[in-house]
Structure 1
Amino acid sequence: MGLTSNTVLALAVAAGVLLFAATVWFWPRLSGRTWRAVLGRVALLLATQLALFSAVGLAANKSFLFYGSWADLLGQETEPGVVVDHSAGSRDIRVVGTQKLDVPGGARPAVGGQIQKVVVAGEKSKITSPAYVYLPPEYFQPQYAGRNFPASIVLTGYPGTAENLIKGLNYPMTAYKQAKAGKMRPMILVMLRPTVAPPRDTECVDIPGGPQTETFFAKDLPKAVTETYRVGKEARNMGFIGNSTGGYCALKMGIHHAETFGAAAGLSAYYKAAEDPTTGDLFHGDKALRARANLLTSLKAKQPAKTSFLVTSSETGEGNLGDTKKFIADVKSPDRVSSIILDSGGHNFNTWRREIPPMLVWMSGRIQA
């Protein structure tokens, strides 16, 4: 049973409940002052607290994926990293590993698709970042051998890990099931975190004298994807998706790079670049650059280009509801905007898991092969 499995979490919760009940039941019998009674009380209390802390820790790890396995938790994950040569002549995307989806027959890519672990080398930004690429089963099927596929870049929030998109938010499995049910067309997903210059939160900004993060996501990554996979080079072929910080980046790319991305979906996005100790000085006094990082300001100045936007929020639980409504109101035709507004939902994985299936169906209707 894996560290992040529901079974392990359920067993930890059950153990906590049973030990709590045992403590209440046996406490009167252990009320004496003998060493056995004292030792019994200590043992029950310690066991109960250990079970409760284990349940809380497992639940937190399942939500945020601090550790992916027991070996990772115990420091036994010792597989060395892979050195990738990014000198002249090397490809922008290098595949360093593959994994399958947990579906019947999933060992065959033509049945379950494939998740590739890759390293992306940015030609212009000089940024190198790990990522995962989900290729749907159809990508490997002979009848589709000559066809292109739509693709979406998918970002986590900050700090996040790309693995969260696979294990926590279930993007590949959700896309697989939605396509198999006929609700969306097969789509390539390029999954990574926005922190491409760790540990700094660069907010997808080209920082003066610093990491050129916007260039990486807007120029280098789309070029690498279209040159490595069967993806068209027009805006109608590629979308951008993200949650939280990733959602901010997604909407930013849709506004400022409509020539590259035909659709952008921001789940629980905020609309102004954060400026705090994790970001450092993003703008170095450049007022125009700061204004450009304000999406509500930039949207008003955007030349409509038939870009499609999707924004999400909740009536209760999200702090972005007011700005989300302003964004919706400011989108000008022929640009289009759609929304998912939940009655209640916080800024967390559970909320995004409720929004991802309909969002992918929406994205499938906005971009094409």
Structure 2
Amino acid sequence: MGLTSNKVIALAVLLAVVLFIGTVWFWPRLARQSWRAVIGRVGLLIATQLAVFASVGLAANQAFGFYATWADLFGQETSPGVVVDHDPAKGETPVDVRGTRPVNVPGGGRPSTGGQIQKVVVSGKEADTASPAYVYLPPEYFQSRYKNRTFPVSVVLTGYPGTAQALIKGLHYPQTAHEQARKGKMQPMILVMMRPTVAPPRDTECVDIPGGPQTETFFAKDLPGAISEHYRTGKGAGSWGVIGDSTGGYCALKLAMHHPDVYAAGAGLSAYYKAPIDVTTGDLFHGDKELEQRADLMWYLDHMPAPKTSLLVTTSKQGEDNYGDTEKFIGKVKAPTRVSSITLDSGGHNFNTWRREIPATLEWISGRLNGK
């Protein structure tokens, strides 16, 4: 059973309950002062607490998507990004579809009613790497009356070390997009859902690391090119947007600011504005001061020409550490860049907060994109 399986959580909860009842039941028998009774009490207490902690940890992991598999949890998932050699003679497709699944909405078993989620691997020519993703295709994509229609695209990025599955199971992006489009609050849109790194487990912060993974190039060039070649997407700059939370939010803002010719809009949910350097990132810049400065979005607004793109930032007055920086960021934006914001009275750096912001975010980004 997988780490995020409901059965695993149910078993952990059942074990915790059984141990709790067992502790209450056997405690009178273990009340004596013998060494065996003491060891029994200690053993029951430790076992019960471990079972409770495991239950809470498994539930939190499923909700927030910290780890996808047991191997990921125990640090065994250390394989780097896959380098792909592209030989045009072989006719290799840049998007390899590995499977499909329905969307969890009424009538979701029929693609023309519920849309479809495709599990894919996207290969990049410029960055020489490949990355997994999930692609949500709206119901209209499968309806005959829209067979010649092209659709706008939003790349949706997790935080770090989140999983792409968390965007589906935890944040409900496909379901929310389906519902917002059904209500007429947004246009039908393709969502490309993935992690913000192409070299797990390293946190690359969407940086082209000198001598290392070229993450920004992958998202700015390879991903739009590959998806546009495989799906019926709009081809112009106004067809693409990018959304992300936490690390993904920083990446979304940076991609829209650095590449307005590709991304007409970028939404950063609980974003920060400067790439951190820590044990998960390693040395991102290798002494390249210009690269480091460009990765600081506050510096970028002060020193670089204002990009022609639209930005959305979200925060909360209580519960978020980025409130002050977000206000500062908004104050630095100059035309032709446009900036919007969502400010909650309270809300932490978590899935519950982002689920409150996602419907409005999808509506916002839909209004700034077209499918041409």
Q: TM bucket by the smaller chain?
A: 0.7 to 0.9
Q: Deviation of residue 65 (structure 1)?
A: 3.5
Preserved contact between residue 65 and residue 168 of structure 1 (Cα < 8 Å): yes
1:272-291 equivalences in 2 (<5 Å): 272-291=274-293
Q: Deviation of residue 66 (structure 1)?
A: 5.5
What is the aligned partner in structure 1 of residue 62 from structure 2? 62
Q: 1:8 to 1:159 in 2, by over 3 A?
A: closer
Amino acid at match of 1:140: F
Deviation by residue 1:52-89 (Cα, 9 ceiling, x = unmatched): 2342132222223366689999xxxxxxxxx9984333
Q: Deviation of residue 237 (structure 1)?
A: 0.8
Amino acid at match of 1:273: A
Q: 1:21 to 1:150 in 2, by over 3 A?
A: same
In structure 1, stretches of 5+ residues that fail to align are 74-82
Amino acid at match of 1:61: N
What is the aligned partner in structure 2 of residue 107 from structure 1? 109
Task: Measure, in 2, the Cα distance between the counterparts of 1:208 and 1:163.
Answer: 30
Q: 1:355 to 1:280 in 2, by over 3 A?
A: same
Q: Deviation of residue 270 (structure 1)?
A: 1.0
Q: TM-score, normalised by structure 1?
A: 0.86
Task: Measure, in 2, the Cα distance between the counterparts of 1:131 and 1:59.
Answer: 24
Deviation by residue 1:95-152 (Cα, 9 ceiling, x = unmatched): 1111111233322211111111111111111121111111011110111111111110
Q: 1:295 to 1:71 in 2, by over 3 A?
A: closer
Preserved contact between residue 226 and residue 233 of structure 1 (Cα < 8 Å): yes
Partner SS state of residue 348, structure 2: coil
What is the aligned partner in structure 1 of residue 349 from structure 2? 347
1:315 aligns with 2:317: yes
Q: 1:196 to 1:346 in 2, by over 3 A?
A: same
Q: 1:287 to 1:34 in 2, by over 3 A?
A: closer
1:52 aligns with 2:45: no
What is the aligned partner in structure 2 of residue 171 from structure 1? 173
Partner SS state of residue 255, structure 2: helix
What is the aligned partner in structure 2 of residue 77 from structure 1? none
How many pairs are equivalent? Answer: 361
Amino acid at match of 2:152: P
1:227-242 equivalences in 2 (<5 Å): 227-242=229-244
Q: 1:180 to 1:9 in 2, by over 3 A?
A: farther
What is the aligned partner in structure 2 of residue 270 from structure 1? 272
Partner SS state of residue 178, structure 1: helix
Partner SS state of residue 152, structure 1: strand
What is the aligned partner in structure 2 of residue 87 from structure 1? 87
What is the aligned partner in structure 2 of residue 135 from structure 1? 137
What is the aligned partner in structure 2 of residue 150 from structure 1? 152
Partner SS state of residue 190, structure 1: strand
Q: Deviation of residue 169 (structure 1)?
A: 1.5
Preserved contact between residue 313 and residue 320 of structure 1 (Cα < 8 Å): yes
RMSD: 3.2
Preserved contact between residue 150 and residue 238 of structure 1 (Cα < 8 Å): yes
Amino acid at match of 1:276: D
Deviation by residue 1:189-217 (Cα, 9 ceiling, x = unmatched): 00111120222222111122222211111
Q: Deviation of residue 239 (structure 1)?
A: 0.2
Amino acid at match of 2:60: A
What is the aligned partner in structure 1 of residue 366 from structure 2? 364
Task: Measure, in 2, the Cα distance between the counterparts of 1:71 and 1:326.
Answer: 41
Amino acid at match of 1:230: R
Amino acid at match of 2:348: G
Q: Deviation of residue 188 (structure 1)?
A: 0.5
Query: Please, which moves more after superposition, 333-342 or 186-195?
Result: 333-342
Query: Please, which moves more after superposition, 195-204 or 266-275?
Result: 195-204
Q: TM-score, normalised by structure 2?
A: 0.85
Task: Measure, in 2, the Cα distance between the counterparts of 1:253 and 1:42.
Answer: 54
Alignment identity in percent? 68
Task: Measure, in 1, the Cα distance between the counterparts of 2:47 and 2:200.
Answer: 39
Amino acid at match of 2:53: F
Task: Measure, in 2, the Cα distance between the counterparts of 1:62 and 1:16.
Answer: 18
Q: Deviation of residue 367 (structure 1)?
A: 1.1
Q: 1:182 to 1:202 in 2, by over 3 A?
A: same
Q: Deviation of residue 360 (structure 1)?
A: 1.0
What is the aligned partner in structure 2 of residue 78 from structure 1? none
Query: Please, which moves more after superposition, 60-69 or 129-138?
Result: 60-69
Preserved contact between residue 255 and residue 302 of structure 1 (Cα < 8 Å): no
Amino acid at match of 1:49: Q
What is the aligned partner in structure 2 of residue 294 from structure 1? 296
Deviation by residue 1:135-188 (Cα, 9 ceiling, x = unmatched): 011110111111111110111112222112111221111111222222221110
In structure 2, stretches of 5+ residues that fail to align are 74-82
Q: 1:303 to 1:48 in 2, by over 3 A?
A: same
Task: Measure, in 2, the Cα distance between the counterparts of 1:37 and 1:210.
Answer: 58
What is the aligned partner in structure 2 of residue 121 from structure 1? 123
**Residue 99 of structure 2, aligned match among 94, 97, 100:** 97
Partner SS state of residue 367, structure 2: helix
**Residue 216 of structure 2, aligned match among 214, 217, 226:** 214
Q: 1:70 to 1:302 in 2, by over 3 A?
A: closer
